[in-house]
Each structure stands twice: as structure tokens, then as C-alpha cells.
């Protein structure tokens, strides 16, 4: 009988401790982390570090590929505008023109704010579009000329030109 009493007291002690634990757990405020959303798909991120930005590896890869694609698209747009400006300036030179009204060449598709370089020379800013330089004012573009002494070594594919 004595062992039965000990067993009963032991079980009662465990029950009391469990109740105490439950009461403590109810009073204890769990700091739930604010669940962030995946930057790519918008789903809630359920596990991992608190500063995690993507729910899975596929979303992370897709997001970075989309960002790179946007950067390439922007660069391609700029290169397209520069190439169009070059074609317009080159066509003016082929016609023997070294100046033109800005309104006229803008109608041809020229974008005045896009050039490969700009430098101050005297009273004017001298712009270049690859190997063509020109002076731009508010209403006119003038002194259009090719830069002949442009020393650039280009490697195209595997062909090398002797110097």
C-alpha cells in the first residue's frame, strides 16, 4: 500500500506541475515575428530568417532574372537611341550639312539629351555621339564633324588587326 500512496503522490505532483506550466504558458506572451511577404509571388514567408525576402529558391531566381532583364532592356533602349542619333548625324554629314535646326532633326527622331560624352569648350558644350562631335544650342545643332583621329583598337571575334 505504501508504494501505491507514493505513486498517487507522484502523479499528483506531476499534475500540479503541469497545471503550473499551463498557467505560466497562458500568461507568457509569445513574440510572434511579423511574417513578411515574398518579393516575387507575394506569398507569406513561413520559415527562415526574419529578414528573408523570398519564399523559395525559384522565386529568388525569378526575381533576380527579372531585375537583370529590366536592366538589359533599359541599356538596349539607350543604345537604340544613341544609334538612331548617330544615323541622323551621319546622314546630315553625307548630305554635306554641318548644321541644322534642332526642330527639324528632332522630327527625324534625334534625341538631344542622349550623347556618348559632353565637354565644355569655350562658350559651348561639345557633344559626341560615338565618333561624331557637334555643338548643341537651344534651337540649333552646328559644327557637326567626324572625329578622324579616334584611336580605338577593336577586337571583333577572333580577328586581330596588325598595328
Whether residue 118 lies inside any domain: the answer is yes
CA distance 114 to 75: 12
Whether residue 36 lies inside any domain: the answer is no
DSSP 38: -
Whether residue 156 lies inside any domain: the answer is no
CA distance 31 to 85: 60
DSSP 50: T
Domain span at residue 63 reads 57-146
Whether residue 10 lies inside any domain: the answer is no
Let me know: does 80 contact 72? Beta carbons within 8 Å: no
Let me know: does 129 contact 90? Beta carbons within 8 Å: no
**pLDDT tens-place string over residues 134-158:** 998 888 998 999 988 655 555 555 5
**pLDDT tens-place string over residues 14-51:** 555 555 555 555 555 545 556 789 999 999 888 888 88
Number of domains present in the structure of the chain:
1
Amino acid at each position: 500500500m505504501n508504494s501505491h500512496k507514493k505513486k498517487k503522490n507522484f502523479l499528483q505532483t506531476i499534475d500540479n506541475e503541469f497545471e503550473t506550466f499551463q498557467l505560466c504558458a497562458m500568461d507568457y506572451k509569445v513574440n510572434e515575428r511579423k511574417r513578411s511577404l515574398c518579393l516575387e509571388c507575394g506569398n507569406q514567408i513561413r520559415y527562415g530568417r526574419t529578414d528573408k525576402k523570398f519564399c523559395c529558391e525559384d522565386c529568388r531566381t525569378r526575381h533576380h532574372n527579372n531585375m537583370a532583364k529590366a536592366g538589359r532592356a533599359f541599356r538596349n533602349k539607350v543604345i537604340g537611341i544613341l544609334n538612331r542619333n548617330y544615323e541622323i548625324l551621319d546622314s546630315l554629314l553625307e548630305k554635306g550639312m554641318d548644321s541644322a535646326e534642332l526642330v527639324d532633326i528632332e522630327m527625324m527622331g534625334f534625341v538631344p539629351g542622349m550623347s556618348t560624352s559632353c565637354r565644355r569648350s569655350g562658350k559651348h558644350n561639345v557633344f559626341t555621339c560615338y565618333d561624331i562631335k557637334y555643338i548643341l544650342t537651344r534651337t540649333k545643332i552646328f559644327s557637326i564633324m567626324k572625329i578622324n583621329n579616334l584611336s580605338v583598337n577593336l577586337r571583333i571575334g577572333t580577328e586581330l588587326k596588325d598595328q
